[in-house]
Amino acid sequence: MYSVYLLRSIKNSQMTYVGFTTKDIRERMDEHNRGLTRTTAPYIPWQIEVVVSFPLSINSFGLHGRRRLISGGQPPPAPAAPPPFRKNCQRT
């Protein structure tokens, strides 16, 4: 299962975090509250606000669409295209 979740910091109720995992949600929550996730560590402890789970067969686009729906934000930006390969590049 994919689980998309919304956390709220108990320390600072204005701070929220949206994440997704294929792990058990209790195990993932424990990782957040032990400070093992760099982006959430400064605001521990966290509490779960919402969890939505989907079967593993869901495609990536569908997952990001549901994550955007829950977070109320924009979809993640598309990765930048790599620079064209040029053999024997030199500084200009």
What CA–CA distances, in Å, run from 50 to 80, 89, 91? 31, 50, 51
The answer to whether residue 81 sits within a structural domain is no
The most distant pair of C-alpha atoms in the chain lies apart, rounded to whole Å, by: 54
The answer to whether residue 46 sits within a structural domain is yes
- Tell me how many domains the chain contains: 1
pLDDT at 64 over 90: no
Say which amino acid occupies 54. Answer: F
The answer to whether residue 7 sits within a structural domain is yes
Residue 46 β-bridge partners: 9
Predicted pLDDT of residue 35: 95
The answer to whether residue 91 sits within a structural domain is no
Mean pLDDT taken over the chain:
76
pLDDT at 49 over 80: yes
Distance of alpha carbon 11 from alpha carbon 3, whole angstroms: 24
The answer to whether residue 84 sits within a structural domain is no
Compare 2 and 34 and report the one with higher pLDDT. Answer: 34
The answer to whether residue 63 sits within a structural domain is yes
Range of the structural domain that residue 61 is part of: 2-71
| pTM score | 0.60
The answer to whether residue 83 sits within a structural domain is no
The answer to whether residue 78 sits within a structural domain is no
Distance of alpha carbon 46 from alpha carbon 73, whole angstroms: 20
